[in-house]
Amino acid sequence: MQPFSYQTGDKTLHGLTFGHGEEVVIALHGWLDNANSYLPMLHNATLNHTWYCVDFPGHGLSDWRNKDAHYYFIDYIDDIYMLLATLNVDRVHLVGHSMGAMVAGVFASCFPEKVASVNFIEGIGCVTTPSSDTASQLRKAILNRARVNSKQPRAFESKAHIISARLASGDLAYPHAALLMERNCYEKGGKWYLRTDPKLKNHSGFRFNEAQCEATIKLIKAPCQLIMGDKGFEFVKQNLDAYGKYYKELKIHQIPGGHHCHMQSPALTLEHIHAFIRPDKAS
């Protein structure tokens, strides 16, 4: 395991790299998570590829977007495009969890020539909003921005308090929550603070509608695989029912675990990914 960083515009984005194979895997984490979510799966594992696990902007150790910018989903596509340009690789395998899975899918749609395969973990399709709700979605987003921007950063008494807050908001056991928060907090003046940009909690001002999501999926040429937790999010099952039929190739596995099943069943997750990523798919 080695840290890495790359420049995109005026931001420095950070991550972790594992393995030394000729082919490259880009691993994308979920909303409010970071590159450490892939540590249980990749640390001390035998790998045939070089993995780059990225902290999205505003997450983990990566820089925040500037104070006037917001976290539009589509901007994450550009972040991945810039990473591939920095690495000087023509074609990669994508692995994405939750939000990262959706980013991987849209990137594969926009740049099919750059993607050899896609592994979705507890995420598929897009978060959509009906066209009729476009104005109300934007209104909620703008009002929410004003509330979030007026708040002061929350100070915690200790790292343990931050980990407890993470435990209360998800399906993770203590070791996995502690692992994520290790990369997502810092101490200053005797208090502990989150590294994540508070603006990440703003409502989205714009989302794809169902027709746009469907059209995007149909443009994906790479073979895809979905790995789901047997106690995962209902949203993933709903999106699979709604959009699964539009993928040209979609293999599905259910494994023990919740929404972070790749942390809870790391060896089995990696086994499925290795079996799916065949060397000839990037040739």
Cβ neighbours around 19 below 10 Å, total: 17
Q: Residues 53-66: pLDDT tens digits? A: 999 999 999 999 99
Tokens matching residue 257: 């675990």
Q: Residues 27-49: pLDDT tens digits? A: 999 999 999 999 999 999 999 99
Sequence-ordered list of residues with C-beta below 8 angstroms from that of 248, at least 6 positions apart, any chain: 220, 221, 223
Query: Residue 166: in which H helix or E strand, if any?
Result: helix 159-168
Half-sphere exposure at residue 76, Cβ-oriented, CA atoms within 13 angstroms: 27
Sequence-ordered list of residues with C-beta below 8 angstroms from that of 73, at least 6 positions apart, any chain: 99, 102, 103, 106, 126, 127, 204, 207
Q: Residues 184-197: pLDDT tens digits? A: 999 999 999 999 99
- Looking at every residue in the chain, the average pLDDT score rounds to 94
Interaxial angle between packed helices 159-168 and 174-182, expressed in degrees from 0 to 180 and rounded to the nearest 10: 120
Q: Residues 97-124: pLDDT tens digits? A: 999 999 999 999 999 999 999 999 999 9
Per cent of the chain over pLDDT 70 is: 98
Whether 73 contacts 102, CB under 8 Å? yes
Per-residue 3-state assignment (H helix, E strand, C coil) for 27-59: EECCCCCCHHHHHHHHCCCCCCCEEEEECCCCC
Residue 279: the pLDDT is: 54
pLDDT band at 146 (very low <50, low <70, confident <90, very high): confident
Q: What is the mean pLDDT of residues 76-95?
A: 96
Q: What is the mean pLDDT of residues 217-224?
A: 98
Tokens matching residue 189: 């003046």
Tokens matching residue 112: 């099919």
Residue 280 has pLDDT above 70, yes or no: no
Residue 169 has pLDDT above 50, yes or no: yes
Residue 149: the pLDDT is: 77
Pairing mode, if any, of strands 115-121 and 92-97?
Answer: parallel
Residue 227 phi, psi (nearest 5): -110, 120
DSSP code of residue 235: H
Cβ neighbours around 235 below 10 Å, total: 15
Residue 83 has pLDDT above 60, yes or no: yes
Cβ neighbours around 113 below 10 Å, total: 8
Q: Residues 123-142: pLDDT tens digits? A: 999 999 999 999 999 999 99
Whether 163 contacts 178, CB under 8 Å? yes
Q: What is the mean pLDDT of residues 147-153?
A: 81
